[in-house]
Structure 1
């Protein structure tokens, strides 16, 4: 089976090592994925150069989303492994814009990956 991320050749943002695209199944308007150009399964397998390149794209992505959508906040997340929810085994970072009122009570943020642990 081929990797869907390895087949992408049109990017919203890119550098020599990484790129960003809009998520096909966005959590919110403007949801970006930042992806390494080299096929690497998990974040922890990246080189320091790849992590730095992804971070550069992450900040450029925030600038783009600030200009286009003016979100009120962001969630940044990486799923590492099947039990953590990873479904495409090519490292990618989610940059999810958040908007006031998009959920009733946002407290807990990324802790919501286990819903009963979100509110504390």
Structure 2
């Protein structure tokens, strides 16, 4: 499936992906910023689709929020390919706060808070 935004004015709008086949939107704030998860078009060491958290701006630009790929005890366990954004705040002093999770380099799931400064 694909993430979409529906409004009475525009109807259903496909939000796109980060290069893969599927995406899923999880939250939208009052200013129209949307967060979720998307396949990137790459595969992990097990051959599964890599998924990354995304932030979609009101202008339609989709930004990859990345992963905690190089954080972990071993720093090379082959993990860190996956992340997902679950919730987004409204703007606070020029910053959006995004909560989600990411795999670290040891493939352990970690809670993440991204702080995105708006220009």
Higher strand content, 1 or 2: 2
Same fold (TM over 0.5): no
> Highest relative contact order (Cα 8 Å, sep 6+), 1 or 2?
1
TM-score normalised over the length of structure 1: 0.29
